[in-house]
Structure 1
């Protein structure tokens, strides 16, 4: 009663803009060709594809975890999943020629943050 809305849009583009602005926890693409819309959905917790895939299937039967981003947080967060329980590392590699412009930038930024050791470590790579 107090948690739903019907929003009439003029076309698909406006509809996708509304979806991505709302960033729904659950999104049912209850249309004949949901695959045609999927690539335009940037922000949604769980997306239910087509007229035969109600949200209740996600709640009770489908495999994905049902801990979803609520209140529009799908704009910057994902559903809880197995990867949230795995440790990951970032691996960064610069070539000698590629390092120079990046190190110059890092030097400037580190100086602005008063992180002199960081600035010197970057400066050492391009001088």
Structure 2
């Protein structure tokens, strides 16, 4: 290149950059489609064993919703599911979240922490 001005270089960069990047994006999209989308299903990979999962349910002043929440969690098809209902300072009927009725095959338990001055609410 002979004597090319900086303005010409800047113009060429601004003009050709979108076309080059569009080409790279299209090639990348086609590569992804051929490599991943056609060969892999949308399902997550299979695990050799199912690790246990603990679901913590805080029960602070929401008695009407606690039973529905615990029933919805217990209705999951995951085999090693543990539901822990936490009484985090509630002074109403939610208590220890008892009586929610777990599904067969799920372990449940109640956690009763020491009373906190905030009554289970976050302060900040």
Name the TM-score, length of structure 2 as normaliser.
0.27
Structure exhibiting the larger radius of gyration computed from Cα positions: 2
Question: Larger relative contact order (C-alpha < 8 A, sep ≥ 6)?
Answer: 2
Higher strand share: 2
Higher helix share: 1
